[in-house]
A = this chain, B = another copy of it.
């Protein structure tokens, strides 16, 4: 059986994973990997409402994925833990495997 500590760890990890698990948030991370950006530019880049983007950003800040600083009127967000980007190389592996599986299926027809 799982220990209490392990249970707690898995819950923390799930919180972080959840904070990544949304298409717009992934788009934001992908945009921020090239450098920090303000809310308005992020919103324009991913094509979503500012209020919506603002909420997604705060989800990721709360999860510890992003940091921010204020500069005049603007709030500028940046990736806090660059390894998040590595996560997507694994996700890509999963996607590639899916494609291979589909090819197998096709050939079997």
Residues of A that sit less than 8 Å from B by CB = 1-2, 6-7, 10-14, 16-18, 20-27, 30, 44-47, 63-65, 80-81, 83-84, 86-95, 97-98, 101
The number of times this chain is found in the oligomer is 2
Q: Are B2 and A91 in contact (CB under 8 A)?
A: no
For A10, A12, A47, which residue has the most chain B Cβ atoms within 10 angstroms?
A: A10
Closest 9 CB pairs of A and B: A17-B21, A83-B90, A18-B21, A10-B23, A14-B23, A10-B26, A21-B21, A64-B98, A11-B23
Partner of A64, one of B23, B30, B63, B94: B94
Task: A2-B45, A17-B21, A84-B90 are known; give 16 further A-B pairs, CB within 8 A.
Answer: A1-B44, A1-B45, A2-B46, A7-B23, A7-B27, A10-B24, A10-B27, A10-B30, A13-B92, A16-B95, A63-B94, A64-B94, A64-B97, A80-B97, A81-B94, A87-B90
